[in-house]
Amino acid sequence: MPGKLKAKIVAGRHLPVMDRASDLTDAFVEVKFGNTTFKTDVYPKSLNPQWNSEWFKFEVDDEDLQDEPLQITVLDHDTYSANDAIGKVYIDIDPLLCSEAATVISGWLPIYDTIHGIRGEINVLVKVDLFNDLNRFRQSSCGVKFFCTTSIPRCYRAVMVHGFVEELVVNEDPEYQWIDRIRTPRASNEARQRLIFLMSGELQRKIGLKVLEMGGNAVVGYLQCFDLEGETGLVVRAIGTACTLEKISTLPATATHPSNSSPSKDMKDSPQAAPSTLGCRSTHSSPVHSASSRLSQGFSVSVPTLLFAGMKPRHRSSEAPRARQCRPGFGEEAPGVPLSSGPPTPLRAQTFSSFSPSKSYSRQSSSSDTELSLTPKTGMGSGGSAGKEAGPLKALLRQQTQSALEQREYPFFTLTAFPPGFLLHVGGVVSARSVKLLDRIHNPDEPETRDAWWEEIRQEIKSHAKALGCHAVVGYSESTSICEEVCILSASGTAAILSSRFMQDGSLDTEHRLSRQPLCVFSTGSERVEGDMGSSASLGFEEVVPPGCGFCHIPYDELNIPFPAQLTYCYCCRRYKVPDVLFTTIDLPTEANVTGKGCLIQARLCRTKKKAQGEGNATAISNLLPFLEYELHTQLMNKLKLRGMNALFGLRIQISVGETMLLGLASATGVYLTALPSPGGIQVAGKTPSDITYEQHISNMQKKINDTISKNKELHEINPPEVVEEIIGSPIPEPRQRSRLFRSHSESSDEVSELDLSHGKKDAFVLEIDDTDAVEDIHALLTDSPTPAGFYSCNTEIMPGIQNWTSAIQMFTSVRVFRLNANLTNQGLNKIFSDLCENLLKSLYFKLRSMVPCCLCHLNFTVAIPEDELIQVAVTAVAMSFDKEQSLENGKQSGEKTLIKAITENDEQLQFNLELNAETSSPNPLSSPKGLSEVGSHPSARDRCSSWIEQLKLKAHTIRRGSVKTTSSLEKASPLPEGRSRSLRSNRSYSGSSVAVVKMTPLSFIPGAKIIKYLGIINMFFIRETTSLREEGGVSGFLHTFIAEVFAMVRAHVAALGGNAVVSYSMKECVFMENPNKNQAQCLINVSGDAVIFIQESELESTSVQTQSATTHTSNGGEGT
């Protein structure tokens, strides 16, 4: 279906002087879309031309509308010689194709030249008329919404989460074409920029098609990457999670946005018609060549988080076999899985009404991955954790979810945060890597091999997840690292068990009504309570799993733990098993019970490698990888323990390959999950206890470590109820009792309880220093300097323990390149690399000191080896100030605890509650407070005695905790009237400046504000080159300007769409190359994010009339110059 694209060139300003004689410019504009070009008149002798052109109209296919950018070129007219180009503007018109996004692009956009940077601005107006809606989705995927945000966007609710979508397109890199030898750098750069624009447009359209095919209307967690393979080509690939989203009107007055709800409705109607016609569309576009390649070495290692947790002594001795051990062979685990699904308990029958299983098989042709034998295992992994009265139900539910998932090729989700009740259990991190040799394309017709590579890896991931007893992978991401002809492909995610309710059609209608409120809200404290309540109310069976700890409960069978781990009973609910340590790639679930605050934990590693070519090189790299990964994990584990924490979230391991070295950087946010056992300390053990000085040295070290641990605990306010541990450790035969209870429902044997008993008391983690490696490790541990006072850091969306954000945010990007000396040892390299990261962090803290108290959120490190002996580290993050005084809202947790305390103190009431529940055994989620209700509501099959013991324990626990909390909150309550600088706060209503303020943040939300509209995805690619590096201030000056320019262009485009912020912003690529001898440098940057309109919550609170005017004001701000 064709559409009409209309563009109007209004004016220019701040143009550069193009005519030296007159110090002026005779500018005109070329507007190009596809193969059609229009020109404006020449506006003579002005640096601020007023073209005020007519509307240029392009009548085009909507497929082209999706693929092509609108290209605006500003030129200087020259009578005698060729016209000189001033610069270009590429406008992605995709946001205009979706009725829910932007309607017009209007505003000042920077004119960009790849050699000179920004050269003035141009004011344009762009609109699109799509011809009627009826068959709008037939020919293309116009209308599918894309979000970079890795959670359900704030003003939508998920009707359904369909699953994984992926696509990649390949082309020759213009930089490596023969013509590049004769054309100017500018022409070459522009060809590249344009090609990438085209390719990402095409990719997005193709992904959109897949989404429509699945019946969705949006892609959430859209992650697009470029692989600059060099000679062999250019790959643009993307992954995302297909969803059906529904807009919720966030404004108090529902009438303000009547148009918003309608499009989603017709989205829901259309998919039926869509798939049939979509199938016949040829998606292979002609200029795209497929890159052939040959696989040299396949390597993959999965390190499911807990892997090394249990191996304490001697773990240095044999690394290689251990590394192998960490691959959970999926073939082995299959027979061991017990079929534990018992008959459904009649008592819980009423919960069945919430889903209708019959419909779940309606769509989705099952894609067969038979070689992996994904036989639908009923009750897979439910052995231990589901061995309760609710077990069978859960097993059944799980079975259902699983079958829904198994119909998908890849049960992957790029989401990192989930609607309440969606994420049931988390298994651990799964990852796979593969080393490939890139090869020149000999036969352009040869079928695509890149797809096959990724397929391999995804299968690997899938099987790892299965080994962990999980049917899904969440927080999934993919990345590559390329050096010459070697390419490392990596994928990682978190194995998990998900609730079926967002994946089945059946539950749609009932869910629809019930979960209306909870979904929109899981941002700030007060809302979250509401969300939790809503979700537990809507789902009868959800109460079985307490929201605060449910996700920690192991999904795998405790008899067949896929890796050595110590299991204990959950420290929150005391009924399910939890691991001692939990690693994940997702964000901390908002409902999770956390003690204290979190912090950024990084493992850094550098390994030298011999220079080699071709297959030899690939083999060498594959051989090094497992060691690298093993050591990164050891480092992470050590650092986690050093901080007295027991879980990692947002784990991201990046491995970068260079000619002579490999770099590994693992970043994550450590937290203390209340549900998990307290981590033991780190014990240093010497191997040769002969020397006294040596012993002394060791004890010194031990003391240092212990000091650090206690200091860290204090810093992060980790004061877990230690008393509880004593109770567990005390030889009350109670755990045994519990396990006996279990046995009646599951196949668990005494082994389980033994396991539990033996690890009831936490052992210390022993570090042996018998070789230099270990010494190095300890040094690495201790060199991490603590964050300065007033600062916190994390790489996740939210910082546990901090809620009362102010609206002051500061997004930033920092890049450092470090030159190494030749001939460094591994240790030397490690130290340098570690120092580099540490110093960078220190610099950031210093820079942002005016925002204290503040937290650096979403600290995203990217490492690269741009050339031999160079290490590049790029960081993008946001600093957010918060109020030190504990607000009422923040008191949610402590408030909840005092509530529990109050109730537990009142024994009579407790008993009554208990009896009531025992008799009716019906959940009473609204009246019973959380934490208590979980225990209180299911004592049915348990004998009274044991539940009483349980109760008493819990009581002791909560009282203890309650008192601890009170004191700590008292401490905090002491006001700290610091003169905080609030100058960074953007002042939205100031006069005198015509430039609208655009906030940027890598997070999916803006503190103190409500996102009321998503305007579309921002995905921009820029190249900048210079042949006068010294004149532009050297490499730093060059890159500084370029990054500032990229920010400026992102802001300008967002403002032109009518937005006032970019959320989920990320800089996905920053490739910097220099040649100081030639005075040249080149840099490529790729950024993405979601353009949004937000309004301050304070404004929102005022009357709806005002909010409405605020909204219109904001959009006007963008439109008006």
Partner 1 sequence: MSVELDVFVGNTTIMDKEVYQLWLNGYTVNDAVKVRIEGGVMEECEASAEVLLSDTMDQYRTFQMCERLLHHPAKLANQLLFQIPPDRQAMLIERYYAFDDSFVREVLGKKLSKGTKKDLDDVSTKTGITLKSCRRQFDNFKRVFKVVEELKGPLVENIRQHFLLPDQLARDYAAIVFFANNRFETGKKKLQYLTFQDFAFCAGQLINNWTLGAVDNMTEDMDVDLDKEFLQDLKDLKILITDKDLLDQHKSLVCTALRGKTNVFNEMEANFKNLSRGLVNIAAKLINAKDVRDFFIDLVEKFIEPCRSDKWTSIDMNLYLTHYTNSAHILDTFKHHAVWTRYMGVIKSCILKMYHD
Question: Which chain residues interact with partner 1 by CB under 8 A?
Answer: 13-14, 108, 110, 118, 121, 788-789, 810-821, 832, 839, 842-849, 870, 872, 983-987, 990, 992-995, 997-1000, 1033, 1035-1037, 1039-1041, 1043-1045, 1047-1049, 1051-1052, 1072
Q: Least Å distance between CB 298 and partner 1?
A: 36
Neighbours of 179 (CB within 10 A): 10
The SS3 assignment for 190 reads helix
Q: Least Å distance between CB 77 and partner 1?
A: 25
- d(C-alpha 1002, C-alpha 66), whole Å: 26
584 burial level (CB within 10 Å; 0-12, 13-18, 19+): buried
In the complex with partner 1, which residue's Cβ is closer, 177 or 843? Answer: 843
Q: Least Å distance between CB 982 and partner 1?
A: 10
Q: How far is the CA of 154 from the CAs of 250, 420, 927, 1100, in angstroms?
A: 9, 14, 29, 15
In the complex with partner 1, which residue's Cβ is closer, 200 or 1060? Answer: 1060
613 burial level (CB within 10 Å; 0-12, 13-18, 19+): exposed
In the complex with partner 1, which residue's Cβ is closer, 692 or 789? Answer: 789
Buried b (16+ CB within 10 A) or exposed e, 380-391: bbbbbbbbbbbb
In the complex with partner 1, which residue's Cβ is closer, 336 or 788? Answer: 788
In the complex with partner 1, which residue's Cβ is closer, 424 or 1015? Answer: 1015
In the complex with partner 1, which residue's Cβ is closer, 194 or 985? Answer: 985
Q: How many CA atoms lie within 13 A of 395 on its CB side?
A: 29
- d(C-alpha 1038, C-alpha 815), whole Å: 12
Neighbours of 1075 (CB within 10 A): 11
**List of residues 6+ apart from 971 with CB closer than 8 A:** none
Q: Least Å distance between CB 707 and partner 1?
A: 18
Q: Least Å distance between CB 832 and partner 1?
A: 7
Q: Least Å distance between CB 1086 and partner 1?
A: 16
Establish whether the linkage from the previous residue to 853 is cis, with ω within 30° of 0. Answer: yes
In the complex with partner 1, which residue's Cβ is closer, 245 or 815? Answer: 815
Q: Least Å distance between CB 555 and partner 1?
A: 40
Q: Least Å distance between CB 150 and partner 1?
A: 20
In the complex with partner 1, which residue's Cβ is closer, 594 or 811? Answer: 811
Q: Least Å distance between CB 112 and partner 1?
A: 11
230 bridge partner residues: 233
Neighbours of 989 (CB within 10 A): 7
**List of residues 6+ apart from 80 with CB closer than 8 A:** none
What is residue 638's DSSP assignment?
H
1100 contacts 1010 by C-beta, under 8 angstroms: yes
In the complex with partner 1, which residue's Cβ is closer, 336 or 1033? Answer: 1033
Q: Least Å distance between CB 441 and partner 1?
A: 34
What is residue 449's DSSP assignment?
S
Packed helices 944-973 and 892-905: angle between N→C axes, nearest 10 degrees: 130
The dihedral sign for the CA sequence 447, 453, 459, 462? negative
Residue with tokens 């008493």: 952
Contacts 24+ apart (CB under 8 A), 699-703: 701/769, 701/778
Neighbours of 565 (CB within 10 A): 25
In the complex with partner 1, which residue's Cβ is closer, 913 or 1066? Answer: 1066
Q: Least Å distance between CB 600 and partner 1?
A: 17
In the complex with partner 1, which residue's Cβ is closer, 220 or 817? Answer: 817
Q: Least Å distance between CB 810 and partner 1?
A: 5
E strand or H helix at 1070, and its extent? strand 1061-1075
What's the one-letter identity of residue 477?
S
In the complex with partner 1, which residue's Cβ is closer, 868 or 896? Answer: 868
In the complex with partner 1, which residue's Cβ is closer, 82 or 789? Answer: 789
Q: Least Å distance between CB 1110 and partner 1?
A: 19
What is residue 786's DSSP assignment?
P
In the complex with partner 1, which residue's Cβ is closer, 843 or 1098? Answer: 843
Q: What are phi and psi of 160, to 5 degrees?
A: -155, 145
In the complex with partner 1, which residue's Cβ is closer, 13 or 759? Answer: 13
Which ranges of 434-569 does DSSP label H, i.e. alpha helix? 450-467, 508-514, 516-520, 525-538
Q: What are phi and psi of 633, to 5 degrees?
A: -70, -40
Q: Least Å distance between CB 1044 and partner 1?
A: 5
Tokens representing 496?
């998990």
Tokens representing 1094?
């937000």
Establish whether the linkage from the previous residue to 1002 is cis, with ω within 30° of 0. Answer: no
Q: What are phi and psi of 1084, to 5 degrees?
A: -120, 135
E strand or H helix at 556, and its extent? none
Q: Least Å distance between CB 1042 and partner 1?
A: 9
